[in-house]
C-alpha cells in the first residue's frame, strides 16, 4: 500500500518543469540555449508598468500588509468591474468578482465548485492544465483532440456529442499554447449548442457551465478580435465563469493578482473554497492594482507598448520560419494572432539527424532541437495533445529582439538538417 494519497500517487508530473530543469542544467554547464519554453516575461525586457510598481512600493510603505478580504478588497473589485465594462462592455456587479493570487487558484476553485467526482469535464487539447485540474477533482476526462485546420480550437461539431451529462466545458481564448483565438463563427456555434443543451435540462440537473480562461485577451494583433460567450449571448451570463488578471496583460506574472467573474452563486462558493485555502492576492498588490486600473491613459499606453513589443518578436520569427519552409526545410508555423506564443511544426520523423540517426518519436525531436541546435521549445504533448504530435509552443516573453536573427541564422532551422534530408 502506498504511503501517500491516490491523488498524489497518480498526479502526472509537469513536462514543462522537467524540460526546464534539463535546460537549466545545460546552462549551468556553460551551454548557450535559445530558451523559448517559458510562458513568462523577462522583467529586463518586459517590465511591469512603472506606475504599478510605484503603487506597490507605496502600498508597502503605507503598511498595507494585513489580510485582505476573502473576495478581494472592494476598491479593486470596483475597478475590475469598471475595467470590464469599459473594455468588454460587460456589466458585472463587484459582488460577482473574486480576486485571487493569479488565475490558477480561480480555475481550481471553479473546478471544485462545479464538478463532483466522476462527472464529465470537457476540454480541448492542446490546452493548459485542464487535464491536471480534472484529475484533482477526479472527474471524467472528455478530451477533445483539436487540429491545425481549426487553429487547434474545438468546433461545436466536435463538442456537442459529449454534452450530455457533462457539467463543465473548459475553454481558453486566446489559447495557450498556440496563440490562436476563436473566430466569431466558431464560438457562436459552441455557445448556441450550450444554450440548447441547458434548455433541455431540468431544475434538478446541473447546467453545463463554461469556464472561459481569457488571461491573454488584451494581447491580440492585426485584425484579430477577441470574442467571449456572454458578449455574444447575454443569456450565458448565468453559465459562464471568466478567469482573467494582470499577469499577461501587464507582464506581471509574479505580482499575483487575478480575478474571476460570473454568476454570483458560483463566485460566492468559489470565494468560500479559496478562503479556506488562503490563496489571496497580497493586500499591497491589490491596493496598487486598483489604483493602476483607475488610470486609463496609463493602462492604454502600457497595453499598446506591450502588444507592439510582443508582436514584432512573433512576426520576425514567423517570417524567418516561412523563409526556411519556402527553401524546402521541413518546418511550418501558424501566423501569430494573439498571446505571446507561436505554434511551430517540425515534421522531422523518419528523417535523420546530424549524426545520421533516424528521428522516430516526438521526444527525439525535442532532444534533437535542444542538443543539436540549442533550441528549447515545449511540445504540444506537454499540454495534453497526442504524444506524437510534431507541433511545439514557442514563447517570446524572455526573448531579446536582437537574438532572433542570430538564432534563425545560426540554427538554420530545423537545425543542421539539409532540406529534405532523409
CATH of 6-46+300-411, one of 3.40.50.620, 3.90.1150.10, 1.10.10.10, 3.90.1280.10: 3.90.1150.10
Better-scored residue on pLDDT, 70 or 26: 70
pLDDT band for position 85 (cuts 50, 70, 90): very high
Identify the band that residue 1 occupies on the pLDDT scale cut at 50, 70 and 90. low
Domain boundaries, the chain: 6-46+300-411, 50-295
pLDDT in tens, 204-256: 999 999 999 999 999 999 999 999 999 999 999 999 999 999 999 999 999 99
pLDDT tens-digit readout, 149-204: 999 999 999 999 999 999 999 999 999 999 999 999 999 999 999 999 999 999 99
Strand order of the sheet with strand 209-213? 97-100, 258-261, 240-245, 209-213, 166-172, 120-125, 140-145
pLDDT for 421 beyond 80: no
Residue 411 — very low, low, confident or very high, per pLDDT cuts 50/70/90?
A: low
The CATH-assigned architecture of domain 50-295 is 3-Layer(aba) Sandwich (3.40)
The pLDDT of residue 407 is above 90 = no
Q: Is the full-model pTM beyond 0.85? A: yes
Identify the pLDDT of residue 154. Answer: 98
What pLDDT score does 2 carry? 72
Cα–Cα distance measured from residue 380 to residue 126, given in angstroms and rounded to the nearest whole number: 6
Asked if residues 34 and 61 have their Cβ atoms less than 8 Å apart, the reply is: no
The answer to whether 141 and 134 are in contact (CB under 8 A) is: yes
pLDDT at res. 418: 45
Per residue in 24-58, pLDDT (tens digit) is: 888 889 988 899 999 999 999 999 999 999 999 99
pLDDT of residue 31: 86
Considering the chain, what is the average pLDDT of its residues?
A: 94
What whole-number distance in Å separates Cα of residue 123 and Cα of residue 127?
Answer: 8
Say whether pLDDT at 415 is over 80.
no
Residues 251, 38: Cα–Cα separation, whole Å: 13
Phi first, then psi: give them for residue 71, nearest 5 degrees.
-95, -5
Confidence bin at 22 (pLDDT 50/70/90): confident
pLDDT at 159: 98
Per-residue pLDDT reduced to its tens digit, 314-330: 999 999 999 989 988 88
Q: Which pLDDT does position 422 carry in this prediction?
A: 44
Q: If phi over 0 gives left and psi between -120 and 50 gives alpha, with beta otherwise, what is residue 264? A: alpha
Q: Does 419 score more than 80 pLDDT?
A: no
The residue-averaged pLDDT of 351-358 equals: 78
Which segment of 84-98, 357-371, 391-405 scores lowest on mean pLDDT?
A: 357-371
pLDDT of residue 12: 83
Given this model, what pLDDT does residue 370 score?
A: 87
Amino acid at each position: 500500500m502506498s504511503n501517500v494519497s491516490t491523488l498524489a500517487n497518480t498526479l502526472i508530473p509537469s513536462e514543462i518543469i522537467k524540460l526546464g530543469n534539463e535546460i537549466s542544467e545545460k546552462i549551468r554547464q556553460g551551454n548557450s540555449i535559445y530558451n523559448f519554453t517559458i510562458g513568462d516575461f523577462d522583467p529586463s525586457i518586459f517590465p511591469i508598468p512603472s506606475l504599478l510598481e510605484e503603487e506597490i512600493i507605496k502600498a508597502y510603505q503605507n503598511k498595507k500588509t494585513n489580510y485582505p478580504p476573502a473576495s478581494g478588497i472592494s476598491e479593486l473589485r470596483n475597478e475590475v468591474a469598471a475595467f470590464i465594462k469599459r473594455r468588454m462592455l460587460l456589466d458585472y456587479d463587484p459582488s460577482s468578482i473574486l480576486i485571487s493570487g493569479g488565475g490558477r487558484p480561480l480555475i481550481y476553485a471553479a473546478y471544485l465548485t462545479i464538478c463532483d467526482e466522476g462527472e464529465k469535464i470537457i476540454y480541448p487539447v492542446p490546452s493548459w492544465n485542464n487535464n491536471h485540474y480534472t484529475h484533482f477533482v477526479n472527474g471524467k476526462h472528455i478530451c477533445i483532440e483539436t487540429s491545425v485546420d481549426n487553429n487547434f480550437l474545438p468546433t461545436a461539431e466536435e463538442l456537442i456529442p459529449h454534452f450530455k451529462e457533462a457539467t463543465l466545458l473548459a475553454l481558453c481564448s486566446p489559447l495557450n499554447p498556440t496563440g490562436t483565438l476563436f473566430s466569431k463563427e466558431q464560438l457562436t456555434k459552441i455557445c448556441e449548442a450550450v444554450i440548447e443543451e441547458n434548455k433541455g435540462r431540468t431544475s434538478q440537473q446541473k447546467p453545463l457551465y463554461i469556464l472561459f480562461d481569457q488571461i491573454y485577451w488584451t494581447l491580440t494583433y492585426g485584425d484579430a478580435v477577441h470574442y467571449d460567450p456572454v458578449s455574444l449571448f447575454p443569456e450565458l451570463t448565468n453559465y459562464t465563469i471568466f478567469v482573467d488578471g494582470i499577469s499577461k496583460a501587464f507582464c506581471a506574472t509574479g505580482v499575483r493578482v487575478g480575478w474571476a467573474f460570473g454568476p454570483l452563486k458560483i463566485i460566492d462558493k468559489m470565494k468560500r473554497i479559496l478562503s479556506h485555502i488562503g490563496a489571496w492576492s497580497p493586500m499591497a498588490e491589490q491596493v496598487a492594482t486598483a489604483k493602476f486600473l483607475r488610470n486609463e491613459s496609463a493602462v492604454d499606453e502600457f497595453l499598446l507598448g506591450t502588444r507592439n513589443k510582443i508582436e514584432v518578436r512573433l512576426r520576425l520569427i514567423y517570417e524567418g520560419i516561412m523563409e526556411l519552409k519556402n527553401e524546402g526545410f521541413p518546418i511550418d508555423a501558424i501566423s501569430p494572432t494573439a498571446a505571446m506564443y507561436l505554434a511551430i511544426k517540425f515534421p522531422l520523423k523518419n528523417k535523420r539527424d546530424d549524426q545520421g540517426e533516424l528521428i522516430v518519436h516526438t521526444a527525439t525531436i525535442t532532444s534533437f532541437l535542444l542538443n543539436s541546435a540549442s533550441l528549447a521549445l515545449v511540445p504540444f504533448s506537454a499540454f495534453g495533445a497526442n504524444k506524437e504530435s510534431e507541433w511545439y509552443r514557442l514563447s517570446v516573453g524572455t526573448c531579446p529582439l536582437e537574438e532572433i536573427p542570430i538564432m534563425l541564422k545560426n540554427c538554420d532551422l530545423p537545425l543542421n538538417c539539409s532540406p529534405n534530408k532523409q
